[in-house]
Amino acid sequence: MRTMTRSLSESARANRHRHLAKTRKQSERERRRAAGQPDLNTIDRAIVEAVRSHILRDREVPPMQRLIRVEALVTTIGLHLRQRVHAAHDAGAEPVRYTTEGVAAAIQCRLFQPPARPGKPAPKPVDGA
């Protein structure tokens, strides 16, 4: 008896790849959440908000001439993450519990590792556990 193999059409193959990528990303987000680490998009938003708040803090110095201390920036990133958690909680969302180690690992991954080069995989985030 001969087994028939079916091949997927191009659109079905693309749908399958999208579904697999979506499932993989969801499981990655759940792992990060369970480890107390913020999602990479969330940490990116917190970084931008922290930089913006440092730039706009002192109106006497032109924005392009301001110096931002890394220690102060990292602290402000943590504060912005905390504000996001409180705002989400106040809006009725399920509270997210970030750990200090998880936030530190996410910041380490986003700020203190070289960016991925074309053709090279991105650096893996350090586990907070």
* One pLDDT digit (tens) per residue for the chain, 129 residues: 454 446 778 888 889 899 999 999 889 888 888 888 888 888 999 999 999 998 888 788 887 888 888 899 999 999 999 998 889 889 998 878 888 888 888 898 888 888 777 766 665 655 544
pTM: 0.69
- Residue ranges of the domains in the chain? 12-111
How many CB atoms are closer than 10 A to CB 46?
24
How many CB atoms are closer than 10 A to CB 49?
17
Question: How far is residue 52 from each of residues 16, 49, 65, 100, 101, measured CA to CA in Å?
Answer: 40, 5, 14, 23, 24
